[in-house]
Structure 1
C-alpha cells in the first residue's frame, strides 16, 4: 500500500472493511473526472480495525454541478449544507456524506463564526488544515489503496496522543470538549501544545450552543475510558467551566477506605468502572448515560461536607444529600436533559444506603420506592462502581445481597405494584377526592412496610383505617 508516512504494524488499515457501496461511489466519481478520499473519523476507525459508523468522502477535481449530477445518477441525493458544499447520498440503505474541499476563515466569536470558501481545486494539504486533530486529518483513497497522512496522524494514533493540526485550532471553541470525548473514546492523552491552545479558548466557552455542549458530554458517557476525558478536561483548563468537578481536586478522603487518593482520583476510577459495568451488562444508551453520569456525580457532596474528626480520621457525613443540589447544577451546566437528571438524583442520594444495615424485605421495598424513576438493579451497579473505584483496593459488589432480595421480590426494576387502588376504596364507600388520595398514599406506605401483602389483607387494613 502506498502511503505518505509509515503506519505502525499494529495499526492496520484494511480496505476490506469498506462496504461495496463506498467503492462504487468512488469509482463513479473517478469516471466523472474527480477523486474521492475518505476523510475524518472513518479513516481513523479503519486504522484501528473498527467498522466506521459513518462514512465521509471529500471529492476533489469536480465542480459542484458535476458532483450533484453524478450523485443523482447513483442514488437519491440532497444538498444538506450548501454553504459547506455538503451532499448526502442514500444508496442501498446507506447514508454517505460527500463534500467538496473548503477553507474556513474566522469571522466572529463562537463555534459558528466562520466564512466558508468551497474550492474543488484546493490541495489536500490546504483543505486538511481546517481539521481539528491529526488523527482526524488523515485521508484514504480506497481505489488507489493510498493513505495521505500530512500531519502525522497515524503516529499520534499509535502513541494515543491527541494533537491539533494547525493554529486554526483556536478558531473553534468547541474543540476542547471534542478533545475530551475523543480522549474518552480512544484512551488518548492530550499533547501539551494542544492543551495550551485549549486554554486560549476558555474565554469563548460561554458562546457554545447548549446542544453542542450536551452532544460532547453524551459521547463522553458512552466511551470506554471516561477518565481519560476528565484528565483532558483538567489539562486543558476547561475543568474550570464545571465548578462542581473542579472542586473535587485535592478534596481528601480517609486513606483507610480510599487508598487511591482524593475525590477527584476516586471519581475517575468510578466512571471507568461504570463504563466497564455498562459494557459487561450490555446496557442500552439511555441506561448507560444514567449509570455513568450518576458515577460522575455520586461524591460531589464531599466538597461541602468533608471534615477531620476528633480522632484524626476524615469523614464526609451527609455527602449523599449535599450532592443533590451540586449534581443538579453540574448536569444543568452540561445541558443534560431534565429526564436524565430525574434518574440520576435518587441514585446519588441512595448510593450509601447499603452501608446502613443488611437488606430486609421492608428495606428493599422502600428503597425501590425512593429510587424512582430509577431502580435497584441500576443502583447496585452504581454501588459496585463506587466500591470498585478504589484501586489498589480490589473490586467488590457490596450491595449484591440487596439486588438478590429485590429480584426475589420482583422489585429490582420497579417498585411494588399498588395493592390498594381507587376501585377498592370506592367499593368500601370512599368517594373520589382529596381524602381518597390521602388514604391511597397512606395505604401504599403501609404496604411497603409489610402491613399487608395481598388484596384481602389490604382490604382489611383499609376497613380498619377508614375514618381515622
Structure 2
C-alpha cells in the first residue's frame, strides 16, 4: 500500500510522465527514489527509465520543461531539473551505466528491453524497484522484502560487471544499517582481483558516501569485511584481533573499538549539525585514529597490552590508507594531525599555553575538530558511557580565540621593519622566535611583542 507521500511525488512528476507517454514511451520511476520512498525518506535525485521510445524523440518531448542536457552520443541519458529535483531520464540498457563514465564509454541503450530485463542489470534488489505513473510497485527480485529485512542482495550475475559495486555495498550498508546476503558476500569475494583496476576517484566517491551519508558506518565496515575487500586495506585489517587494555577498552579489540568510535562520530556530527567538510574530517579521523596500535602493541609482564607511541605511528599509516581510498589532499592535511594528537589531553592540564601550543600543532585541523574526535574516541568503549574528556581544553581554546584556528601571530614583519629590523633572513628568524614566545604567553599584544623581540635579539 503506497503512502500519500508517494502519490505527492508522482503528482509532481505527472506532467513529465504524460509528455513521455504522448510520444509512445512507457516511463517508470526507478532505483534509489523508490527505495527511499519505501524507507520513508524524501528523494532528491529522481531516475526515470522510459521504454518503447528513442532518445531523440524523448528529448524533444521534454524540451518544453526547460533545459535538457544530453549525456553521451546516443541520447541515452537526459538530465534536467524539475522544481527542486534533479531528474535523470534514461533509456533502458543492457549494461547499467556507471557513475560519471566517460562519454564514449556509455553503454548501448535499447528501448526494446523489457522492464524486467533492464532492472535485472541494477546492482542490488533494493535498487531494482520501480513505480508506475499510477503508483503500482514493480518488484521482480524481492527488493521490498530485502529492504525490510535490511539485507543487501545482488540482483543478478550482472553485478560483477562493475567491481566498484562492492564498495557501493559498503556505503549502502552504512546508510541503511544493512548486511550482505551470504551469496552476495561470496560473489564479492570473487571480484577482489579486479579491484586494482578501479580509478581512485571512483573509490573515493564510495568512501565519501560512507562518511557523509552513513548512519551506522560500522555496518559498512562489517560489510567490507564480509565481502573480503577489507584485505585491500591492510591498515584496517590489522586492527582485527589487536588487543587493548581491558580496563580502558572493555569492548574488545581495536577493530571493535574503531567501529564504535565511527558510530559515535556520526552521533556527534548529527548533534552538532556538521557540514560536509567537517563531517568528513571527523568520521575519517575516527576511522584512522588507532591505525598505529597494531605495530606498537606489546604485551607487558603482567599480560596487559600496551600501545606506547601509537598516535605518532598512526600518522604514516593514515597517509598510506588515505592514498588507497583516493582521498583528496585536504583530508590528509586535517586528519593526520588529529590522529597524531588524539591523546594530547591525557595527563595534561588545559592551561592557556598548553592549548595554544596544541592548536598550533593541529593546524590546519582545529582544536574544535580535535575535541570532537576525543569525544568520539572516549564514547566508543561500551559499556562505558559517552564522555567528553577534552571539553575543558575546548573551553580554554574558545577563551583564547584558538578553537577554530591556531593563534594568529601578534608580531608581523611590518612591525619589526617599522622598528628598524631590515628585511631578510634575520627578520624571518625573529618572527619565528616571536611566535614561539607568544604561544608560551610571554607577551599578549603586538607592542609587547616588538619590545620583547628588540630586547632579546642577539646581534
| Superposed pair shares fold, TM > 0.5 | yes
Paired position in structure 1 for 2:168: 178
What displacement does 1:352 show? 0.2
Q: What residue in structure 2 maps to residue 193 of structure 1?
A: 183
1:26 to 12, 17, 20: 17
1:111 is displaced (CA, Å) by: 11
Give the secondary structure class of the aligned counterpart of 1:173.
coil
Q: Structure 2: which 5+ residue stretches go unaligned?
A: none
Corresponding residue of 1:85? 76
1:286-317: per-residue Cα shift (whole Å, max 9, x none)?
Answer: 11111101101100000110011123221100
The residue number in structure 2 matching 1:422 is 413
| SS class of match (1:57) | strand
Tell me: CA distance 1:23–1:137, structure 2 relative to 1, closer, same or farther (3 Å). same
CA distance in 1, matches of 2:275, 2:112: 44
Unmatched runs of 5 consecutive residues or more in structure 1:
2-6
Q: How many angstroms does 1:423 deviate by? A: 1.4
- Superposed CA offset, 1:328-365 (max 9, x none): 00000011001110000110010001003121110001
Which residue is equivalent to 1:325?
316
The aligned residue for residue 343 of structure 1 is 334
What is the CA RMSD across the aligned residues, in angstroms? 2.0
1:310 maps to 301
In the aligned structure 1, how far is the partner of 2:294 from the partner of 2:79?
A: 49
Equivalent of residue 251 in structure 1, options 239, 242, 247: 242
Secondary structure of the equivalent of 2:94?
A: strand
Aligned partners of 2:71 and 2:77 also within 8 Å: yes
Aligned-partner Cα distance in 2 for 1:255–1:124: 55
Question: 1:17 touches 1:51 (CA, 8 Å); kept in 2?
Answer: no
Shift in Å, 1:467:
2.4
- Cα deviation, residue 19, structure 1: 6.9
Q: 1:294 and 1:146 mapped to 2: Cα distance?
A: 44
What SS class does the counterpart of residue 256 from structure 1 fall into?
Answer: coil
Specify which of 213, 216, 220 is matched with residue 210 of structure 2.
220
Equivalent position of 1:4 in the other structure:
none
2:143 to 139, 150, 153: 153
Is residue 2:196 matched to residue 1:206?
yes
Matched pairs, number: 455
Quote the offset at 1:88 in angstroms: 1.3
SS in 2 for 1:252: coil
Q: 1:111 to 1:87 in 2, by over 3 A?
A: closer
The 5 A counterparts of 1:121-160 are 121-141=112-132, 143-160=133-150
Match of 2:154 among 158, 164, 167: 164
Q: Is the 8 A contact 2:55 2:75 kept in 1?
A: no
Within 2, Cα distance between the matches of 1:40 and 1:321?
44
Tell me which of 1, 10, 14 is aligned to 2:5: 14
- Deviation of the 1:285 alpha carbon: 0.2
Question: Residue 55 of structure 1: SS of its match in structure 2?
Answer: strand
CA contact (8 A) 1:111 1:173 kept: no
Q: 1:29-58, CA deviations, whole angstroms, 9 ceiling, x for partnerless residues?
A: 122222211111111011111111200100
Contact 1:13/1:48 (CA < 8 Å) preserved in 2? no
Matched residues in 1 for 2:155 and 2:362: separation? 47
2:104 and 2:155 map into 1 onto residues whose CA distance is 19
Of residues 281, 284, 297 in structure 2, which corresponds to 1:293?
A: 284
Q: 1:379 aligns with which of 370, 383, 403?
A: 370
Structure 2 partner of 1:410: 401
C-alpha distance in structure 1 between counterparts of 2:411 and 2:106, whole Å: 65
Relative to 1, partners in 2 of residues 1:252 and 1:151: Cα closer, same or farther, differing over 3 Å?
same
For residues 458 and 391 of structure 1, the distance between their equivalents in structure 2, rounded to whole angstroms, comes to 49
Say which SS state the counterpart of residue 103 (structure 1) adopts: coil
Matched, 1:401 2:392: yes
Inter-partner Cα distance in structure 2 for 1:338 and 1:319: 23
DSSP 3-state at the match of 1:145: coil
Equivalent residue runs for 1:98-117 within 5 Å: 98-104=89-95, 116-117=107-108
Secondary structure at 1:102 match in 2: coil
Deviation digits for residues 101-124 of structure 1 (CA, Å, limit 9, x no counterpart): 111299xxx999988332222211
**Which is further off, 407-416 or 438-447?**
407-416
CA contact (8 A) 1:199 1:237 kept: yes
Secondary structure of 2:291's aligned partner: coil
Mapped to 1, the partners of 2:4 and 2:112 lie a distance apart of 27
Q: Deviations over 1:392-418 (max 9, x none)?
A: 111100001101111111211112121
In the alignment, the residues of structure 1 paired with residue 225 and residue 431 of structure 2 have an alpha-carbon distance, to the nearest angstrom, of 50
Q: Give the Cα separation in 2 of the matches to 1:184 and 1:343.
A: 23
Aligned to 1:236: 227
Alignment match of 1:358 (pick from 344, 349, 353): 349
Note the C-alpha offset of 1:320: 0.3
Give the equivalent residue in structure 2 for 1:462: 453
The runs of at least 4 aligned residues of structure 1 exceeding 6 Å deviation read: 110-115
Cα shift readout 1:266-286 (whole Å, capped 9, x = no counterpart) = 000001111111111011101
139 and 82 in structure 1: CA distance in 2 versus 1, 3 angstrom threshold: farther
Q: 1:446: which partner in 2?
A: 437
